Structure 1
Amino acid sequence: MKVAVLGATGLVGGRMLECLERSSLPVDQVLPLGSERSRGRAVIFRGEELEVLPVEERHFEGVSLALFSAGSGPSKAWAPVAASKGAVVVDNSSAWRMDPQVPLVVPEINAADLAWHRGIVANPNCATIQALMVLYPLHRRYGLCYFSAVTYQSVSGTGRGAVEELKGASAAYLAGQPWESSVYPRDIAFNLLPHIGSFDDQGISEEEWKMVRESRKILGMPHLKVSSATVRVPTFNCHGEAISASFEEKPDPREAREILAGFKGVEVMDDPKGAVYPTPHDGAGRGEVLVGRIRPDTGLENGLAMWVVADNLLKGAALNAVQIGEALFSGGARV
């Protein structure tokens, strides 16, 4: 099969190529695509240097799977074009996530929704994916009623420019030199910004609404109660989340650990009496969602609290997209 990757030179696009190399997809050809400014740049796939081409309609001829990570604008422009040529688009932007005609998929949770795609499948927000990867298996056992997710999101979620800004700003701060931020509205070095996306007239951020709305759609629970506070932190990679949830039945932390340990894609790192819990250093470069600090919530009825870490560029983006592709083309058969 022929696979196109739009946004191949970005952080997520690069991870998509790496995940494709390790995937079960029968990939014969990869076509890296980008904007006009990416013309002439090169990416590596299976040890071969491939030239990045400016995206054009003709490039989607013969493409089976198109992985998009180029932002909402290019996605809205090019996803219908690629789909019209017969490709299935898996889009990593927010452009199609809440479209009722577009499945929003985490394969371990709702792969069945792929059956009704119309050529475009949406990849959920990174923070939503890792939250639901631990909440879904617990929901099947106890019945989820409500959850709160406070996120601690790394700068790689913003892109390559943000990574460079954190490097430069940190060096300047330590040297006592001035630094003017360009990516974020406030200094990110040695700081915390409770500001991811724009605020609405109620003061709720775009990222916080994603957690609410996407969770409801993926779980098929339109009335699920969700709270979220999203914070950008000065780490390079991996998001952390403090999750508290309440259920119909009272969860037992010991049983919850067993349930989570048995769910594909989740790894438990937990010792209630010791310093065993996941950190971004543990999660970087790994495809699993890591969970620890599993304990009774002190303020919720039938509550459970957890600490969750995942590589936002992998399971939070590129890996989930490739796993959707694997589910779509399992054994070479298109869903």
Structure 2
Amino acid sequence: MKFLDLAKVYIRSGAGGGGCVSFRREKFIEFGGPDGGDGGNGGSVWVEAIEGLNTLIDFRYQQHFFANNGQHGMGSQCTGRNGDDVLLRVPVGTEIIDEDEETVIADLTVVGQRVLLAKGGNGGFGNLHFKSATNRAPNRANPGQEGVERTIWLRLKLIADAGLLGLPNAGKSTFLSAVSNARPKIADYPFTTLFPNLGVVGVDGKEFVMADIPGLIEGASEGRGLGDLFLGHVERCSVLLHLVDGTSSTITKDYRTIITELEAYSPDLADKPRITALNKIDALDAKTLASRKRSLEKAVGGPVFLMSGVSKQGVTDVLRAIWAEIQQDKGPVVEDAPWQP
């Protein structure tokens, strides 16, 4: 299944049915009177977050969603049938954005969360509705209300507890595949991940979700490379794991490149708790490793973890640090008390 995290959708709710002007004419009934029924309501357009989806690819092949109109009222006091609603099913973590691409209409972060996007028009009153003591034979009816037509954007932000950051080939995909069942593409030649990946990571009997996004390069905020298109997928994370390639000869520059792009994208994202790890230490000798660790700690202004996604050296310590940050952000997990009669 191809990954798609942004889609433009055109929606329209149904118009209400018109009321009916009708009079009762039956044999042996001298004064029949009005009997025109009301029109039915138009269908509405809803959106709902469901399980089992992690992409918006369905909305590439269908962009128009139109609800049915309500049926017109009929004689014999018959009300028109309501139009059928339309339901857009989206992954959890989808934002509904107005046509201006800035105004957030809704943020669907819980399974089963449902939001009304366009309400159907009300049906018009038939002439039976206007009957009164002074107007025994009204000859008018209301038309149904028009439906609502609008254009919206669907933007998916993956729900993850921790996010991976780093330059291309920093070892993010290798790390994710080493600590979870996720199987992103890994090879022995330079390339970058093209789509975000999710993996469930376990440490000390605890589990959390980690997201691996495509690597950033210098100038990503200006559109270079893949740009910062996928940074939205780590906005919901409690903590960011910044992997720095230990085999690079410019590790401090590599570190500052990512921080600069984060700050250019969103100050809030740059202020998130961040853990820095020097990766690929299995490819370094002790002297080089010590020198590069000191340089990176000076640039970070704090501690730096040493690890290798291939040999899994130091991976457990990094995962424990990530879990500690997640707990601090979300609070301690309250376990259900045992059932008592």
Alignment TM-score, normalising by the size of structure 1: 0.26
Bigger relative contact order (CA 8 A; separation at least 6)? 1
CA radius of gyration, larger in: 2
Alignment TM-score, normalising by the size of structure 2: 0.25
